[in-house]
Amino acid sequence: MSRSNRLGIVVTTLVSAIVIASCSQQTHRGLTYPKTAKVDQVDEYHGVKVADPYRWLEDVDSPETAAWVQAQNEVTLPYLEQLPAREKIEARLTKLWNYEKYGTPSKKGGRYFFSKNDGLQNQSVIYTMDSIDGEPRVLLDPNTLSEDGTVAFSGGSVSKDGKLFAYGISVAGSDWQEYRVREVGTGNDLSDHIQWVKFSGVSWTKANKGFFYSRYDEPAEGEELKSQNYYHKLYYHKLGTPQAQDKLIYERPDKKDWMFGGNVTDDGFYLIISLGRSDTRNNAVFYRSLAIKDAPVVELLSEFDAQYSFIDNDGPVFWFRTDADAPKGRVIAVDLRKPERKNWRVVIPEAVETLRSVGVLNNMFVASYLKDAQTVVRIYNLDGKHVRDVAFPGLGSAGGFGGKRRDKETFYSFTSFNAPTTIYRYDMVTGESTVFKRPKVDYNPDDFVSKQVFYTSKDGTRVPMFITHKKDIKLDGNNPTYLYGYGGFNVTLTPYFSVSNLVWMEMGGVYAMPNIRGGGEYGKAWHEAGQKLEKQNVFDDFIAAGEWLIANEYTRPEKLAIGGGSNGGLLVGACMNQRPDLFAAAVPAVGVMDMLRFHKFTIGHAWVSDYGSVEDEAEFHALYAYSPLHNLDKGTEYPATLITTADHDDRVFPAHSFKYAAALQEAQAGDAPVLIRIETKAGHGAGKPTTKRIEESADVRAFLAQNLGMDASALDDSQRQ
């Protein structure tokens, strides 16, 4: 079967011919693009008239858009298929990808639960064990839910007694989830079926008779993947009853953009409700007593003045991680009997490092910090006294440390750029780490070196960057280099292992990842320095990273590529618009490209907190100044560009990429290709089957190799190891 068929391109040739024949075509270096039809659409913002000639591509379900998608893929897929390096790259990716991958275990009711992928399974399988040394038993295998692996496990929660498993699935990468309940002992599903869940997990009551979850109203037919997500609601579902009888716990009809998450405290006495809204990354926290029937919801922290993350409670004393009066985070105690701010008690003061998360295990706080984007974990007693640090095998990223207050063991993962994720068991009493599962990958980690450098951005800000490559490269300015970034929403980029990047480096490439502003690596101030009116700092930081790599003879513009996804796709689009001379290739993935209309679709309104709003005049001008769609200059020689998106992406609406691709193809003056790869039966990225991940990675690396002049012959040696 051809790759075109595997992508599921099904549109009638007749419709395609009609649409394409009505437009002239453009040819660049042997590629003939369909010239996308334009409409006379002009919007006015604060007195500024803005044309939007590709507005019709926002109707992603229309026959015309479907024909356009087919026409674009009929250009892109043959180009990618014939790239000389692609076959070798895909073969090496497949070989390396084929290793066991374990998730971090959790423990409930004396049983252990974890995920595992044998290597090339499309979806990881959920297992359970009676003891740490017990025989694993399959609890849920998502690979049996669809023939092509596009139905994915999207989240789950085990009841407190370990007997029931509420699990969510999503179809074709959509953010929409539906939940069912499985008996752990028998593997049988109960009758419970919960639909239209989004941006929510489930949280069981102490008695295991039901759980809390959040959902939206069912969208109109045909609008599931594009309608705006407003009026989130928090419900309680009682086992054995239909969803129509679920009890509404909290809603705000007067605040359509508010979102709610409900979690039951470990002692089972309280429901903690975290509230978010579109215009700020701060949140509020309410609670409801579960010990009193029909108790009211109490507004505990209602000002949206900071971020508050509930940790645990000691009766009526609640512990929170917060950046209130502490930009890098601290732990405070709030007593429900005297909750006024003046009575808050600092348990763990703000440190030099950034506090990212806190849990309570064995009656001790486990606090995870970032020190220059690398994980440091410290253990404190409940009075805030430092007990010890967790010893890691090197510099990298650690995650996990889940569990309950009296647990004496926990598990964590550790990874770095040249070390695959290893799972450790941690003894909370002795502080000893032991390997639970260590993967075996077909490569030699000693062949690679990773380091962190610091460079200066345009305004003098010092920015860290990780650089990883084979040990034997020469700093002569000729190394193909892939510069990857994100820079937004308080998201942190920390060291991680990637088969795709490993293959890139085996081919002689350099992988560089800067921790630019907009992320959370250095706390609230670092995040806010890349928000709204300050967003240009993010692009300046990324451009400065490329300039540093060139100045220090890692690479040169003809060998430098950039990539990023989602908000990182925006980053790539903005930077290649602003400095097309600096980069030879660009891969904006599932990007936010239309900064004047991002709020019009699905959950886009929630991004106003980071981007700002076109309703505000100053913020409109800032958005308009860098919006990738609106800042293309016709007649400019842009880098070779491979835009990637998916038809089921209901996080970043695919029309962002559609419109940007059409505009960039029209604007391109040079010979470098401008292509869009549109995956079908896939979404924003979560739950994407392994087969699709390998295909896309092979396409991207082959595209970069072709347009940076890379020789893939090194992979011949790699595959003989």
Average pLDDT across the chain, whole number: 93
Q: Is the pLDDT reported for residue 449 higher than 70?
A: yes
pLDDT in tens, 104-122: 999 999 999 999 999 999 9
In sequence order, the 6+-apart residues with CB closer than 8 A to the CB of 543 are 458, 575, 578, 579, 582
Cα 501 from Cα 499, distance rounded (Å): 5
pLDDT over 90, % of the chain: 86
What are the residue ranges of helices labelled H in 579-681?
Answer: 608-611, 617-626, 655-667
Query: pLDDT per residue over 344-388, tens digit each?
Result: 999 999 999 999 999 999 999 999 999 999 999 999 999 999 999
Pairing of β 585-589 and β 640-646: parallel
Give the model confidence (pLDDT) of 286-340 as tens digits: 999 999 999 999 999 999 999 999 999 999 999 999 999 999 999 999 999 999 9
Q: What is the pLDDT of residue 152?
A: 87
Residue keyed to tokens 């390997």: 435
Whole-number percent of the chain with pLDDT over 70: 94
State pLDDT tens for residues 376-395.
999 999 999 999 999 999 88
Quick one: pLDDT band at residue 221, thresholds 50, 70, 90? confident
Say what the pLDDT of residue 10 is: 31
Catalytic one of 457, 566, 697, 718: 566
Enter the tokens of residue 123: 């979806």
The pLDDT of residue 482: 98
At 222-280, the pLDDT tens digits run 887 778 899 999 999 999 999 999 999 999 999 999 999 999 999 999 999 999 998 99
The yes-or-no verdict on residue 140 having pLDDT over 60 is: yes
pLDDT over threshold 80, residue 562: yes
Task: Please indicate whether residue 720 or residue 660 has the higher confidence score (pLDDT).
Answer: 660
Question: Average pLDDT in the 676-680 region?
Answer: 89
Are 509 and 714 a contacting pair, CB within 8 Å?
no
Rounded (to 5) percent helix, strand, coil in the chain = 25, 35, 40
26-40, 365-379, 680-694: the lowest-pLDDT one:
680-694
Indicate whether 560 pLDDT > 80. yes
Residue 212 in contact with residue 166, Cβ under 8 Å? no
Is the per-residue pLDDT at 684 higher than 60?
Answer: no
Identify the pLDDT of residue 227.
82
Model confidence at 52, pLDDT cuts 50, 70, 90, reads very high
Q: Which of 170, 684, 697, 718 is catalytic?
A: 684
Give catalytic status of residue 566 as yes or no.
Answer: yes
The question of whether 193 is a catalytic residue gets the answer: no
pLDDT band at 681 (very low <50, low <70, confident <90, very high): low
